[in-house]
Amino acid sequence: MRLTEEQIRQFDEEGYLFLPDCFSPEEVAALRLEAVSIYDTDRPEVWREKSGSPRTAFAAHTYNEAFRLLGAHPRLIRPVEQLFGEQLYMHQYKINAKSAFDGEVWQWHQDFGTWHRDDGMPEPRAMNISVFLDEVTHINGPLMIVPRSHKHGVFAAGHDLSTTSYPLWTLDNDTVTKLVEAGGIITPVGKPGAMLMFHGNIVHGSAGNITPFPRKIVYLTLNAVSNYIRKPTRPEWIAHQDFTPIVPVADDALLQYAQNYRQAAE
């Protein structure tokens, strides 16, 4: 899959690109079931909300076959290679739960702010790719993005260690207000299988989920190999130190996996 000139222009100007039909319902069904079984395990990579509900599961591509195939999927890898003009490795991989009733807020932040400060990543040449596992609607805590906020570099941020269970470098209200006055806020919503890519400097966050509808989204952070992290401070399963370039799998690899999965369950 290659991005068109128009898609590249939109990404450069707005800082994000939304592709509503990237994966089929069949491909996503297996991932969704596997995500739930990962949340049910007691492993350090599964991070919990203060309530005990799952918040995120890190590094699933290293211990789960379905998520390994997603992490090397050409529909995700090829467009980012095209934009960066080089091969990629996986900097971070998380399956965010935003659990029904209990999913907590992600405060306003820029991801590159964290990658730079905590991991020693030199440049914002890493891309976030999100793949929806559940339907994301306007009410179950969709990701909120401030278009064009990626044009200003890294903003000053405070290290919030108390609002949620997850430490984050967050932006102050004045900064967010000015950016939103200029760019507004958008909430990409859509069916399972939708894909959203967004720039490492885009300002984003999400509100809590008090609905009965879970909102699971996988986030891959694909870093250009030459932009490997120089000063890791976080565990290897949060900020990976294996800089081996990703070799994409076949385009139908996830579909084959999902079909075998369904047959085994029948």
Site residues for ligand SIN per CB under 6 A: 96, 106, 143, 204, 206, 217, 219
> Which amino acid is it at 115?
W
Cα–chain-centroid distance for residue 169?
A: 17
Choose which of 27, 45, 49, 111 interacts with Mn ion (CB under 5 A).
111
What minimum distance in Å lies between the beta carbon of 85 and ligand SIN?
25
What minimum distance in Å lies between the beta carbon of 146 and Mn ion?
12
Pick one of Mn ion, ligand SIN, none as the site partner of residue 34 (Cβ within 5 to 8 A by kind): none
Who's near 72: CB < 8 A, 6+ residues apart?
A: 61, 246, 247, 248, 249
Element (H, E) at 127: strand 126-132
Cβ nearer to Mn ion, comparing 88 with 143: 143
The count of residues in the chain is: 266
Rg (the chain; Cα; Å): 17
What minimum distance in Å lies between the beta carbon of 77 and ligand SIN?
20
Rounded Cα distance, 84 and 67, in Å: 23
Residue 34 in contact with Mn ion, rule: CB under 5 A: no
What minimum distance in Å lies between the beta carbon of 206 and ligand SIN?
3
Pairing of strands 16-19, 54-58: unpaired
Cβ nearer to ligand SIN, comparing 61 with 204: 204
Contact positions vs Mn ion (CB under 5 A) = 111
